[in-house]
Structure 1
Amino acid sequence: MHASAQQAGPPVAGAPEPAALHVVDVPLGERSYSVHIGAGARSVLPGIIAALGARRAVLVSARPDDWNPETGVETLVLPARDGEPDKTLAAVGGLCSRFARFGLTRDDVVVSVGGGTTTDTVGLAASLFHRGVPVIHVPTTLLAQVDASIGGKTAVNLPEGKNLVGAYWQPKAVLCDTDYLGTLPRREWTNGYGEIARCMFIGTGDLRGLPVSEQIAASVARKAEIVVADERDAGLRHLLNYGHTLGHALERATDYALRHGEGVAIGTVFAGRLAGALGRIDDERVAEHLEVVEHYGLPTGLPESLDIAEAITLMRRDKKATRGLSFVLDGPAGAELVGDVEESLVATTLAGMPRQSHDLA
């Protein structure tokens, strides 16, 4: 995947002059787009909208008004709220109704500004309205910048599970403005670091110690490579779910009190243990999973109240679970999807993990 440093276009009036941006291209033919990463990246939005030929925009934002980027066109601003409780079909329907009342057409554009739950929900609404209108994501959390806004997956939750209703809808651009990260509380940083930590086991190499913008760029570049090779989850894209099978189950079991990146971090430690139990990796590699997750200050143990039987039931509902209990696991040839893992081994591995009292405030 092509990644380069590129000077941003002319800044919007009142916006900070952007420094050189990392640009990662996602070459998908007519659906190709670029991810712009760095301080001030949001200032390139008007130029991208102008290049699309859009005359109007709906900007759906979970940020304060003074952090919303300029679009350069007539714009309806709709408030949003980050968080799993609002990542629902009802929220998608509400957005589509507002699009209709505004008179949004397929020649216009939708812009999302917020965390991963906002980019997911807005992306799904854009994919469905008029059977698809262009969308640009301006992710404002570390989690959304390294993962959620990239790759074209959009989805909302059902009471029965996470991300069970969705569509593939590639954005026209993604603007990862690192200025937003300075406003994040501690838990939002750890939430994003959960996705970065698991990247070491799917091909980025060790990102520890790099500046955060470089960690974001490396994570995005690896995800872009995988998405281009397997846009619709037929095989290789399963790698992106490293640590996610248990992670999603933990989110659901705690009614989303445990954040996504926190669940993925615990799921990554579990994936190392399970791969070791299956004889796929040695003890040193198992320990490396724990060391990387601990480096980022992430949780490594199961919630104290977790019922293992419930967790296994939730994992069976995972989107990848077409062949029994399935996990993306490290091995001699790297990570791969492993199906039909014995439930007894999964239960034993879970039972062997430490329990932690997580600070979920």
Structure 2
Amino acid sequence: MTAPSATLGHGDRASGPGTHRVWVELGDRGYPVDIGPGVRRTLPEVVARIGASRVVIVSARPEDDAVPDPGVPALRVAARDGEPDKNLANVQALCERFAAFGLTRTDAVVSCGGGTTTDVVGLAAALYHRGIAVIHLPTSLLAQVDASVGGKTAVNLPAGKNLVGAYWQPSAVLCDTDYLATLPAREWTNGYGEIARAHFIGAGDLRGRPVEEQIARSVALKASVVARDERDSGLRHILNYGHTLGHALEIVTGFEMRHGEGVAVGTVFAGRLAAALGLIDDRRADEHFEVVSHYGLPTALPAGADTAALVAAMRLDKKSTNTGKSTNTGLTFVLDSADGPRLVPDVPADLVVATLGAMEREAA
């Protein structure tokens, strides 16, 4: 499977200096992703284009100007942001607020927050009246690079991450980089995990590039994949590069390890595992470590990580259950190869354990 190249879509520039526009090509469900300082100010124009007569704004940001006046009557609701509230109870609570405000199927919802807010609000919008328009204003680097684009919405169950969800494309995504000015250092690290993994699936080397370009190139890559495989039947699996171990690390550590941190470690692991399978050489595997290290990301398993628990969590990965190709002994991963990233089923569990063990020894 050859990785698609990341190029900006038509209308490369949004309105204003230093801004980019990426178009997600999905026919009549296509939409723009605008990236750059101040792009959230175009929200009234987006609402007018949709034709909504009222809007519910679900925001994790307390600032009065975090979400501009949408130009129509609006109800503002404080988001319950974070993994503990990424659940069906939160979705139900939001839908009840939509109904109490009188939202109809021709109205719209606006999300403003990180990736968990995007997921929860997106799913609520997908379910309410069997689907109403949603506009995302992602405020974290992680959400701008990944979570707000592509139409995947989901919440967690005790059994695993993102097990209940729907595909629901937004009407627009406004990645205002002004939001990033107040991000704590760990949130930058969280987002850079997705940018680092994009290096190995077609985005090219983004090290040293301005953050607006890093976001735009990452979004363009994801848009090109989503346009060709909206519902995760094949190519879209490459977007999960580094995520199989990454999600397992989140679960096993009780989400003390953040998503981007887990993906970073998972990316290093993917390089090591691909080399162990003979898919790439040691130099390419080392490149995984070098790229992840460049962004100041973790490269090793956390101290005391339970290997058996990690393997058990990885068996629940959606790639394995969707393809039906994993056995009781083998696991499924997206791995690098001479022909680009590809889905590799039935990787022997003992090789997975040995590779995890080698990473533990390297970190010791």
User: What interval of TM-score do these two structures reach, taking the shorter chain for normalisation?
Assistant: over 0.9
Contact 1:55–1:108 (CA<8 Å) still a contact in 2? yes
Contact 1:328–1:335 (CA<8 Å) still a contact in 2? yes
Residues 194-213 of structure 1: matches in 2 within 5 Å?
A: 194-213=193-212
Is the partner of 2:199 in helix, strand or coil? helix
Q: Specify whether residues 186 and 20 from structure 1 end up closer, same or farther in structure 2 by C-alpha distance, changes over 3 A only.
A: closer
Contact 1:304–1:356 (CA<8 Å) still a contact in 2? no
In the alignment, the residues of structure 1 paired with residue 67 and residue 320 of structure 2 have an alpha-carbon distance, to the nearest angstrom, of 39
Shift of residue 305, structure 1, vs aligned partner = 2.0
Is the partner of 1:201 in helix, strand or coil? coil
In the alignment, the residues of structure 2 paired with residue 20 and residue 106 of structure 1 have an alpha-carbon distance, to the nearest angstrom, of 35
User: Is 1:154 the equivalent of 2:161?
Assistant: no
Where in structure 2 are there 5+ consecutive unaligned residues?
1-6
Residues 1-361 of structure 1: matches in 2 within 5 Å?
A: 2-8=9-15, 18-66=16-64, 67-322=66-321, 323-324=325-326, 325-354=331-360
Counterpart amino acid of residue 26 in structure 1: V
Give CA deviations for 1:220-243 in whole Å, capped at 9, x if unaligned.
000000000000000000000000
Is the partner of 2:127 in helix, strand or coil? helix
Equivalent residue for 1:13? none
Q: Specify whether residues 77 and 356 from structure 1 end up closer, same or farther in structure 2 by C-alpha distance, changes over 3 A only.
A: farther
In the alignment, the residues of structure 1 paired with residue 180 and residue 10 of structure 2 have an alpha-carbon distance, to the nearest angstrom, of 21
Between 1:290-299 and 1:323-332, the stretch displaced more is: 323-332
Shift of residue 117, structure 1, vs aligned partner = 0.4
Is the partner of 1:354 in helix, strand or coil? helix
Give CA deviations for 1:306-330 in whole Å, capped at 9, x if unaligned.
1101000000011111322110000
Shift of residue 83, structure 1, vs aligned partner = 1.0
Shift of residue 21, structure 1, vs aligned partner = 2.0
Contact 1:302–1:356 (CA<8 Å) still a contact in 2? no
Counterpart amino acid of residue 32 in structure 1: G
Contact 1:57–1:74 (CA<8 Å) still a contact in 2? yes
Give CA deviations for 1:51-103 in whole Å, capped at 9, x if unaligned.
11101000000001322222111000000132101100100010011111111
Say which structure, 1 or 2, has more relative contact order (CA 8 Å, 6+ apart): 2
Shift of residue 7, structure 1, vs aligned partner = 4.6
Is the partner of 1:106 in helix, strand or coil? coil
Counterpart amino acid of residue 341 in structure 2: A
Between 1:60-69 and 1:102-111, the stretch displaced more is: 60-69
Is the partner of 2:230 in helix, strand or coil? coil
Is the partner of 2:110 in helix, strand or coil? strand
Shift of residue 20, structure 1, vs aligned partner = 4.5
Is the partner of 1:349 in helix, strand or coil? helix
Is the partner of 1:112 in helix, strand or coil? strand
In the alignment, the residues of structure 2 paired with residue 274 and residue 336 of structure 1 have an alpha-carbon distance, to the nearest angstrom, of 13
Is the partner of 1:96 in helix, strand or coil? helix
Give the root-mean-square deviation of aligned CA atoms: 1.3
Give CA deviations for 1:95-115 in whole Å, capped at 9, x if unaligned.
011111111111100000000
Contact 1:253–1:310 (CA<8 Å) still a contact in 2? yes
Equivalent residue for 2:4? none
Contact 2:107–2:132 (CA<8 Å) still a contact in 1? yes
In the alignment, the residues of structure 2 paired with residue 105 and residue 83 of structure 1 have an alpha-carbon distance, to the nearest angstrom, of 28
In the alignment, the residues of structure 2 paired with residue 58 and residue 7 of structure 1 have an alpha-carbon distance, to the nearest angstrom, of 25
Counterpart amino acid of residue 311 in structure 1: L
Contact 2:44–2:71 (CA<8 Å) still a contact in 1? yes
TM-score for the superposition, normalised by structure 2: 0.94
Shift of residue 27, structure 1, vs aligned partner = 1.2
Shift of residue 354, structure 1, vs aligned partner = 2.9
Where in structure 1 are there 5+ consecutive unaligned residues?
9-17
Counterpart amino acid of residue 144 in structure 1: A
In the alignment, the residues of structure 1 paired with residue 10 and residue 206 of structure 2 have an alpha-carbon distance, to the nearest angstrom, of 16
In the alignment, the residues of structure 2 paired with residue 269 and residue 284 of structure 1 have an alpha-carbon distance, to the nearest angstrom, of 13
Q: Specify whether residues 92 and 356 from structure 1 end up closer, same or farther in structure 2 by C-alpha distance, changes over 3 A only.
A: farther
Is the partner of 2:268 in helix, strand or coil? helix
